[in-house]
Chain A
């Protein structure tokens, strides 16, 4: 995985790098750590059993991490899902969670 890969993915690389004191290796290492995590799978599982509290918790957490790394496509989905779960808005949450898994997998493939 390179900075260009992330840029191609849609990440706001400049913002992410700034938070990492412009240390590219550090940024890439943190991103690798983030995409290695199975939280998106746990999110899907919680939604499947209807545990919306747990789902909110995980979505919220993912939103924070993706936000900090400026992984914009992942961040916007996680953020939207978090807000919907917070308000317990009607509708199916699972497609958004699966979208997170898919996007995460895209990055995982680059490792």
Chain B
């Protein structure tokens, strides 16, 4: 994994420009200028004026001028060019220079007082004019200096405004250009588009880093070709992510298909899948970056299969606004006690009558405007955002306080299990935090059951095992949540120290629909017996499931059959009836 990341970084680095100032003389440190005039007097006079400040090279006609230019290349800071000359005149020289990728960057000042030459010279790329008879040396020097300065600053821009790998703009320039473009074309209907290569890492992994780089280079070329046939710009934002700002169109699907087939010309790239997120009809009042954020949000809705283009629409917008709002409101809701901890009872069913044995703490959000918000909505959101940590800690603390309260009130200690999010596992103070919490409420670690989900750690089992071991050393009990869901690995189970196995809810739900599940359940029961830990089944909804699970050897049952998660006041009724019986 890390290796891929490094490689992506390198690929980003390849855009690093070489900021070499052209024109600085190798030896003298002076800039070089070339004076081209067939009249020796004019030539020498200009040389005289310039030689204090510059290294002056001279040519008596166009051919000689070109020869020197080709030889000196970017080391020349400026060419002062007469128009009327034998052999090759100034216009012919400019024509040739313009077609030469290397020479065209060298600025040219045309030596003429003929107005009629000026327009033609400008068209051919001349930057300025010096008339004959010459102005005072100061004026000429100032002009020469200004043109060189201007050219050097724009040369630096042209070195860095484009990504070397793809020939597209860099992100910063791209956004600037988009802004400028919008100012001038406020009425145009344009789309902000984000394009990426699905599973780009794979190409680095399969064919090596060079192949990944080559893929990006080719895609850059394809996008450049595309921009020739439509109005717009493109840039490479980072690694394999490209941004396009183009005239509105509906056929991005077809377009991606076309680009993919061009990429497929190289056999290594025959299965490359491109994805695009489109923010259509860009709203010019929105900040550029925001429009591309929308395109990104749309692109992120795309999975591995199915559509390759997603358009940012009002539904997605609503979802985003909703998510934004929940994220914004979390802190305030925490402070205002808008988050409630509900408790779902767990019953021990090993005896003849089910006995209340423990509970699971589950968070509920009573949003001031939206009412009860499902944890299925906000938990994934907070997990993504990192906010989940403070919410988790609130729940843990609250659950501990509640255990203590019930103990004081009813004289029984009812263990409560709390969930630990993936993020918490990377908090080095996790064990300390739990210890503080039980200490604050005067509980022992065994009163708080810690639920961890194994499936979230397929790529970092070591971390999970280390944290679980540490918590157990301090006396906490570890409950493995969601067992039987998706990725449960027997291998991990062998290494992970656990105290309770918790059967996944969806597994319980499908127990009857698929007879194979019964065999699997049998195997799981074997495992838990082998490990010598109790098994909890959650999501149990009816008597039939209960009977089956009980017969098979499941120890504890949690589910709507007994009770949904309820507020503590309501839960207390159950404690009361237990203590009474």
Contact = CB atoms under 8 A, between A and B. Distances in A.
30 contacts: A19-B45, A19-B49, A19-B133, A19-B134, A19-B136, A19-B137, A20-B48, A21-B48, A21-B49, A21-B52, A21-B137, A26-B48, A30-B45, A33-B40, A33-B44, A34-B41, A61-B39, A61-B84, A63-B132, A64-B42, A64-B113, A65-B39, A65-B41, A65-B42, A68-B41, A68-B42, A68-B45, A68-B132, A70-B133, A75-B133
Interface string A21-39: 1010010001001100000
Contacts of B113: 64
B84 A57 contact: yes
B113 to A, nearest CB: 8
A68 B133 contact: yes
Interface of A: 18-21, 23, 26, 30, 33-34, 57, 60-61, 63-65, 67-70, 75
Interface in B45-70: 45, 48-49, 52
Given A34-B41, A64-B42, A23 B132 contact: no
A31 B42 CA distance: 11
Contact of A23 (B42, B48, B133, B134): B48
A55 to B, nearest CB: 13
B134 A68 contact: yes
A61 B134 CA distance: 14
Given A19-B49, A26-B48, 16 more contacts: A19-B45, A19-B133, A19-B137, A20-B45, A21-B48, A33-B41, A33-B44, A34-B41, A64-B132, A65-B39, A65-B41, A65-B42, A67-B133, A68-B45, A68-B132, A68-B134
Interface in B113-142: 113, 132-134, 136-137
Contacts of A21: 48-49, 52, 137
Q: Is the interface of A mostly helix, strand, loop or mixed?
A: helix
B578 to A, nearest CB: 109
B41 A30 contact: yes
B49 to A, nearest CB: 6
Nearest to B112: A64
Interface centre among A20, A64, A65 (most CB of B within 10 A): A64
Contacts of B84: 57, 60-61
Chain B interface size, as a band, is: 10 to 19
A11 to B, nearest CB: 12
B49 A69 contact: no
A34 B48 CA distance: 16
Contacts of B39: 61, 64-65
Closest CB pairs A-B (n = 7): A67-B133, A64-B132, A68-B133, A65-B41, A30-B41, A34-B41, A65-B39
Contacts of B40: 33
Contacts of A61: 38-39, 84
A30 B137 contact: no
Nearest to B52: A21
B132 A30 contact: no
Interface string B131-156: 01110110000000000000000000
Contacts of B134: 19, 68
A60 B39 CA distance: 11
Interface centre among A30, A33, A63, A68, by most chain B C-beta atoms within 10 angstroms, is A68
Nearest to A23: B48
B133 A64 contact: yes
Contacts of A75: 133
A19 B137 CA distance: 6
Contact of A18 (B44, B132, B137): B137
A54 B135 CA distance: 27
A33 B41 CA distance: 7
Contacts of A23: 48
A44 B197 CA distance: 74
A87 to B, nearest CB: 12
Nearest to A60: B84
Nearest to B40: A33
A45 B137 CA distance: 36
Contacts of A34: 41
Contacts of A67: 132-133
Contacts of B49: 19, 21
Contacts of A18: 136-137
A30 B40 CA distance: 9
A57 B113 CA distance: 14
B92 to A, nearest CB: 16
A67 B134 CA distance: 8
A65 B43 CA distance: 10
Contacts of B136: 18-19
A22 B136 CA distance: 11
Nearest to B137: A21
A18 B113 CA distance: 19
A33 B48 CA distance: 15
A21 B134 CA distance: 12
Contacts of B38: 61
Nearest to B132: A64
A57 B83 CA distance: 11
A66 B411 CA distance: 117
A5 to B, nearest CB: 18
A60 B113 CA distance: 10
Nearest to B116: A86
A65 B84 CA distance: 13
Contacts of B44: 30, 33
